[in-house]
Amino acid sequence: MISAALLLLPGCRKPTVVIAKTVVELTVTEFVPNSDLEAVRKTSQVLIGFQQTSPVIENALMGMRAGDRKTVKLNAADGPYGEYNPYAVQEILKSMVPEGQQIKVGAAFSANTPALAVPVSARIVEVKDKSIIVDFNHPFAGKDLSIAIEVLKIRDATRQEMDRVLSTGQELSAP
């Protein structure tokens, strides 16, 4: 017979609902309702109660079970892409566009920048003789989003995961 005290030890129980200190594997699909913008779908793991996702999404996850689905709405200010930033629209020389990239309105490309360690995405919004106008805003910036959530798995967080997130702010890796 298993002692009731053992059921309270971390790792000795299998959580059935999303609560604090659980790791949730989930699929998130972000989309702008009534828009022709392509939806963004990703699978990730979130440590609940450690500010790993927006408060709106974390609150929506609370009490969900594996297999549950829910759609939440985020206004642009609360969403992951924020408000549209007019200063992110820049004029650059055509020579700065990656080789082989088609230069036409609507074309998207990624470019490395000296200031950032990761490539940034941009869309061409205007073509001039020697330069182009590019928009570095995410296509969802400034737009109210709907986010479809599906909980795939729930498990207790390990002490190591909690310590790592608390000490480094590092996110959990994708499953």
Fold category of 11-81+141-168 in CATH? Chitinase A; domain 3 (3.10.50)
Q: Which helix (H) or strand (E) holds 159?
A: helix 159-168
pLDDT per residue rounded down to tens, the chain (175 residues):
444 444 445 555 678 899 999 999 999 999 999 888 888 899 989 999 888 888 888 999 999 999 999 999 988 888 888 899 999 999 989 888 878 888 999 988 887 766 666 778 889 999 999 999 999 999 999 999 999 999 999 999 888 888 888 887 667 665 5
Domain boundaries, the chain: 11-81+141-168, 86-135
86-135 belongs to which CATH class? mainly beta
* Strand-by-strand arrangement of the 69-74 sheet: 40-47, 22-31, 145-156, 69-74
Q: How many CB atoms lie within 10 A of CB 39?
A: 12
Residues 155, 171: contact at Cβ < 8 Å?
no
Nearest by Cα to 150 from 69, 47, 74, 31: 69
φ/ψ of 86, rounded to 5, equals: -65, -25
